[in-house]
Amino acid sequence: MAQAWKCSGLRWSADGPVLVWDGGRRSALTRGKRVAFGVAEGGVRICVGARGHTCPVGAAVPGRSTGARCEECARLDRAHSVAADTIADDPRPYRVYLAWFGPGMVKVGITAQARGSARLLEQGAVCFSWLGLGPLMAARRTEELLRAALRVPDRIPYAEKRAVRAALPETAADRAREVAELYERAVALPAWPESLVREPLRVVDHMGVFGLGGLPAAVGQVSELVAGGVVGGELVAAAGPDLHLATGGGVVVLDTRLMTGWGLVPAAAGEPTVPIRQFKEAAGVQDGLF
């Protein structure tokens, strides 16, 4: 029987996306590469634990869960989390950013300055600009200010991001326009925290980094991995946690967060045998009653 590997998830570096495996091994993901793996026969997806610690009971978790944690480990993981707004005394400087994922989809968020743009790559932001830099609570107040005053969301569902990746504006200027417009509205607000230093508008574009230029529309996405199932395809793009894989039936999106918690084994190149949720075709203009 082939050795089973445990995936720790997809990480973004200056050189692009890599899959990280328990034990530290890394697999670089370059466009055009054949991605193929299987789930061990009879395997069960096990909770990945919390904050570097294994799950004390080795609980089984659902195949469709993107977090791959049982309820107790999920609670512990969020107990000291900036994203969950459970800490207020982090002394590190934080940046506020505006991120664009497609027409009409701009969000506001914060990230530790030390992380650079990693958070934006992890979310699949097609382009972004920094807005301000300061203490955590000042950054959080600015995020809340934009939500309240300008109705800017702090979350955009991945399903919405995936739906537009193959139909993004062709020029960087067109992709940057909504970020620039929102930036001007944001810096004009009168209630900015004094300790937050405003940063100049500099829109960073990830279209080329993700490989989204000329991307074919996806026909579906992997809904879950299952014991004995196989995933295979040629990597045509990667954005956030998603891999866009070209298969015989069209491009299929794999959310790599579904890989964690499983024992994965090498597989010969082949078509996917895991459950795939088919996307509905975009509705066209009807030119007749029938």
269 versus 158: which is more confidently predicted?
A: 158
**C-alpha radius of gyration, the chain, whole number:** 20
Residue 290 has pLDDT above 70, yes or no: no
Contact 210, 239 (CB under 8 A): yes
The reported pLDDT for the residue numbered 14 is: 74
Contact 169, 175 (CB under 8 A): yes
How far is it, in rounded angstroms, from Cα 254 to Cα 234? 12
Residue 152 has pLDDT above 70, yes or no: yes
**C-beta atoms surrounding 252 within 10 Å:** 25
How far is it, in rounded angstroms, from Cα 29 to Cα 31? 7
Which H helix or E strand runs over 143?
helix 136-150
The stretch 164-180 carries a mean pLDDT of 96
Instruction: Summarize pLDDT for 3-30 with one digit per residue, the tens.
Output: 889 999 999 987 889 999 988 899 999 9
The reported pLDDT for the residue numbered 23 is: 84
Q: Band of the pLDDT at 51, cuts 50, 70, 90?
A: confident
Name the least confident of 115-124, 263-272, 277-286. 277-286
How much of the chain is helix, strand and coil, in % rounded to 5?
A: 20, 30, 45
Average pLDDT, the chain: 90
Name the least confident of 47-51, 93-97, 103-107, 174-178. 47-51
| Percent of the chain at pLDDT exceeding 70 | 92
How far is it, in rounded angstroms, from Cα 215 to Cα 212? 5
Instruction: Summarize pLDDT for 189-227 with one digit per residue, the tens.
Output: 998 888 999 999 999 999 999 999 999 999 999 999 999
Beta-bridge partners for 132: 96, 198
The reported pLDDT for the residue numbered 271 is: 84
How far is it, in rounded angstroms, from Cα 283 to Cα 260? 35
Contact 128, 203 (CB under 8 A): yes
Q: Band of the pLDDT at 289, cuts 50, 70, 90?
A: very low
**What DSSP character marks residue 256?**
G
Instruction: Summarize pLDDT for 231-273 with one digit per residue, the tens.
Output: 999 999 999 999 999 999 999 999 999 999 999 999 886 789 9
Name the least confident of 54-58, 124-128, 201-205. 54-58
